[in-house]
């Protein structure tokens, strides 16, 4: 019987266990907190096809990352369902013995029943859908293209019919934009088996005009929901968990709170991120990543690539959210559309 792989650890003793893979920098939404249309307009230059990692290159990197301790993969974008034949990549990753979980984050705009079935058959285990309001005027304003709520809800229903029993629904909460939609969202998803996750608005990238004044704290969100439906905390499954979990006392499910601004979780961060153009980032708020595509395309062996990745992680000291100040907020950071959040 094979011995379990011992994850490598960084300079702050954090293991490498999760890899988030962006398969495209393109998206059909223009969410104001991620890809504002004033920046990502019709003249914006997205990556040409030849600069994007192939499925074979991604599979190779997943196999190498798995030798360093990675067990969980999340497919992101941009909007990952824009990547043609994505199911082929998921199938390739599912064949890697030590990968025990494959998830995908999507805006669900292209998530039909047939597509959801193909994704599950390929080996996808979990789905997360982004939805910031149930009100078309609010959601349409935030997604930047007036995409209707009902079509996202249809995508969530398609996932359920395909067999994804518990879909996570991510809501980025911004003061004055959708904070008045919190109760409506909680009420809608209570009792459905789906988990609403409410995310503090973060200063990812440099184009979204982030301000601390626009952040609704997790404590405010928790108070708002628990004053309507009492909640109790759920113990974390592992120290690497991103969301703080709470369940309704009446048994109608749970919610998650992601507190990167007011209660950072850098100390337990076990995530590396691979961009669609082949850079490895060790923090969501990093200014730049390590180019792994070039040595790979120039003929580096698996052993050589493994040594590069191992050195990168072992020297990692990132803890941006724990040291966030006015000065760090002003630093250049990679756009979330490049590394998928």
d(CA 245, CA 225) in angstroms, rounded, equals 13
Beta bridge partners of 49: none
Contact 290/279 with Cβ under 8 angstroms? yes
Q: Is residue 1 part of an annotated ligand binding site? A: no
CA dist 69 → 79, 170, 341 (Å): 27, 27, 21
Question: Peptide bond before 78: cis, by omega within 30 degrees of 0?
Answer: yes
d(CA 101, CA 116) in angstroms, rounded, equals 17
Q: Is residue 310 part of an annotated ligand binding site? A: no
Write phi, then psi, for 223 (nearest 5 degrees): -65, -40
d(CA 13, CA 270) in angstroms, rounded, equals 10
Q: Is residue 316 part of an annotated ligand binding site? A: no
User: Residue 112 is encoded by which pair of tokens?
Assistant: 């039909």
Q: Is residue 105 part of an annotated ligand binding site? A: yes
Alpha helices in the chain (DSSP H): 55-66, 86-94, 113-122, 136-143, 149-162, 182-189, 218-226, 293-297, 302-314, 326-329, 336-339
d(CA 154, CA 114) in angstroms, rounded, equals 12
d(CA 279, CA 174) in angstroms, rounded, equals 30
Q: Is residue 287 part of an annotated ligand binding site? A: no
Helices 182-189 & 218-226 angle (0-180, nearest 10): 60
d(CA 46, CA 52) in angstroms, rounded, equals 10
Q: Is residue 33 part of an annotated ligand binding site? A: yes
Alpha helices in 26-97 (DSSP H): 55-66, 86-94
Q: Is residue 34 part of an annotated ligand binding site? A: yes
d(CA 30, CA 78) in angstroms, rounded, equals 10
Annotated binding site: 20, 27, 31, 33-34, 74, 78, 105, 130, 168, 202, 266, 269, 271-273, 283
Annotated binding site for [4Fe-4S] cluster: 27, 31, 34, 266, 269, 283
Annotated binding site for GTP: 20, 74, 105, 168, 271-273
Annotated binding site for S-adenosyl-L-methionine: 33, 78, 130, 202
């Amino acid at each position: 019987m094979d011995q379990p792989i011992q994850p490598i650890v960084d300079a702050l003793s954090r293991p490498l266990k999760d890899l988030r893979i962006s398969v495209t920098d393109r998206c059909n939404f223009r969410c104001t907190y991620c890809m504002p249309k004033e920046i990502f307009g019709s003249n914006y230059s997205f990556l040409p096809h030849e600069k994007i990692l192939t499925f074979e290159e991604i599979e190779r990197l997943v196999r190498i990352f798995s030798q360093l301790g990675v067990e969980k993969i999340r497919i992101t974008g941009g909007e990952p369902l824009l990547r043609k034949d994505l199911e082929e990549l998921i199938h390739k990753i599912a064949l890697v013995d030590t990968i025990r979980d494959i998830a995908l984050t999507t805006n669900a705009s292209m998530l039909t029943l047939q597509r959801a079935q193909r994704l599950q058959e390929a080996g996808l285990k979990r789905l997360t859908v982004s939805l910031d309001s149930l009100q078309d005027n609010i959601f349409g304003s935030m997604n930047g293209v007036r995409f209707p709520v009902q079509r996202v809800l249809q995508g969530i229903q398609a996932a359920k019919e395909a067999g994804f029993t518990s879909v996570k629904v991510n809501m980025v909460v911004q003061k004055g934009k959708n904070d008045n939609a919190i109760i409506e969202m909680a009420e809608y998803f209570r009792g459905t088996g789906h988990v609403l996750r409410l995310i503090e608005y973060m200063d990812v990238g440099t184009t979204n005009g982030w301000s601390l004044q626009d952040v609704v704290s997790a404590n405010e969100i928790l108070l708002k929901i628990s004053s309507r439906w009492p909640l109790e905390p759920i113990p974390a499954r592992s120290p690497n968990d991103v969301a703080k979990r709470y369940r309704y006392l009446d048994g109608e499910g749970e919610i998650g709170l992601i507190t990167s601004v007011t209660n950072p979780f850098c100390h337990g961060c076990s995530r590396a991120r691979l961009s669609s153009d082949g850079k490895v980032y060790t923090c969501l708020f990093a200014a730049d990543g390590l180019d792994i595509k070039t040595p790979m395309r120039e003929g580096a062996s698996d052993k050589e690539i493994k040594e590069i990745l191992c050195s990168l992680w072992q020297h990692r000291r990132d803890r941006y959210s724990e040291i966030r100040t006015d000065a760090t907020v002003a630093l250049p950071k990679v756009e979330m559309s490049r590394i998928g959040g």
